[in-house]
Amino acid sequence: MFFVLFESSRSALISIYAHGLRSFLTTLGIVIGVASVIAVISVTEGMSSFIGDTFASLGSNSLTIRSYTPFEDQMKGIRARLTPEDLELISRRGEGIASITPILYAARSSQIKFGSQTAFSQIMGTTYAFQEVSQSYISSGRFLAPSDNDTRRRIAIIGEKVRDNLNLPENPVNEYVDIGGEWFKIVGLLEPKGDIMGQSRDDIVLMPYATMRSLQGNQARTDIQIQLSLSATAEVDVVAQQLTTLLRNAHDLSSEEDDDFTIQTAEQLMETFDSIINMVTIVIGGIVSISLLVGGIGIMNIMLVSVTERTREIGICKAIGAKRHHILMQFLIEALLLSLLGGLIGLALGYGLGTLISNTIPSFPQASIPLWSIALALGFSGFVGVLFGILPAAKAANLDPIDALRYE
């Protein structure tokens, strides 16, 4: 049996090599289909891995609470808000909380000036706990201290991109910048964290939470964001459910009313991105699989032509003792090898295309190919070869030896 397989494979390779151009054009559909699928998977896997690492840096036990207003209510001018009272309630009655910090975004201009340079950045007021909750650390200078918040000190901590945009010195500590018409002293520079989904995480300015509130004036309804990290023994789902109950009661929501806030974990955000990426992969994979179908039809067509061309050869083989299954195996293996060779070429082209895409787009994560996608590509290529090679192989195996020898 092994000898038959070896000889059938050798004969198939000789036939493929003898008609090299025809063989390549036959497998072109397979090549395009596999290359497209692998390119899509390599790019999306690289992106998924990068996003996973990014959210892992936030910690698996962190929660973010934001206000939420349905679009219909927004059109009516209704706005849900999280207030300092909600923060105090959670701090006082929340269980399993290790650190908690408010985040108050600049309500008006996010303009920051240094000398003749002007930049627009994400400016937010927060507390010393932000460092632990968001895993943001200082490369030079210091972070916010509790006393900064108590005294509403005019100090700021900037990200690397802000320093670069304003042409500040390598160590900008003790420099003064203008934020909203107020002078702020830079006391710290954050470690670079890079980009995510095209958005820079280093284009950020931090100031004490109380300072930000004083700059915004006596706004009747301040909307804040609350971030917190949990203790090692706390369960995320249990804490999230408890906070939901606390906030619903505080906002006087009835059982029929939906939450006017959202509680998100880093894991939930990652699952959302994964579901989006997986859906895109499936849709694009379904579209490009048409190329595999076209490639399979091409293989069946050329194998039928090959059977016709080699009718006398089949007759001679049968006349000297070749059995039906020998002929069947010979042509089936040829179709399988044609398809697998196309799959291998498509695999290499797909990885090259994915790498080219990831390297062309600035700050895009590196492409990567998981082993399951390689197995899937080659397995599906082999399946296409066998599926569309059965009919030509069966036709060759069923030829009558006398009729085959008479064929001109």
Segment 208-245, tens digit of pLDDT: 999 988 887 765 567 888 888 888 777 888 888 888 88
Mean pLDDT value of segment 348-354? 86
Residue (of 388, 399, 385) closest to 322 by Cα position: 399
**SS3 category, 199:** strand
Higher pLDDT, 174 or 403: 174
| Structure token pair of residue 12 | 């198939």
- pLDDT tens for each residue of 51-62: 666 665 555 577
Please give the Cα distance from 75 to 67 (Å, whole number).
Answer: 16
What's the burial of 375, exposed, middle or buried (CB within 10 Å: 0-12/13-18/19+)? Answer: exposed
- pLDDT tens for each residue of 88-103: 888 888 888 888 889 8
Query: What predicted TM-score, i.e. pTM, was given to this entire model?
Result: 0.62
Query: Cβ distance 314 to 357 under 8 Å?
Result: no
Mean pLDDT value of segment 100-111? 80
pLDDT bin (cut points 50, 70, 90) of residue 147 is very high
Please give the Cα distance from 83 to 56 (Å, whole number).
Answer: 28
CA distances (Å), 25 to each of 19, 20, 337, 339, 342, in order?
10, 9, 14, 12, 10
Residue 382 is predicted with a pLDDT of 79
Mean pLDDT value of segment 301-329? 68
CA distances (Å), 56 to each of 101, 133, 262, 265, in order?
19, 12, 20, 11
Q: What is the DSSP string of 245-259?
A: HHHHHHTT--TTSPP
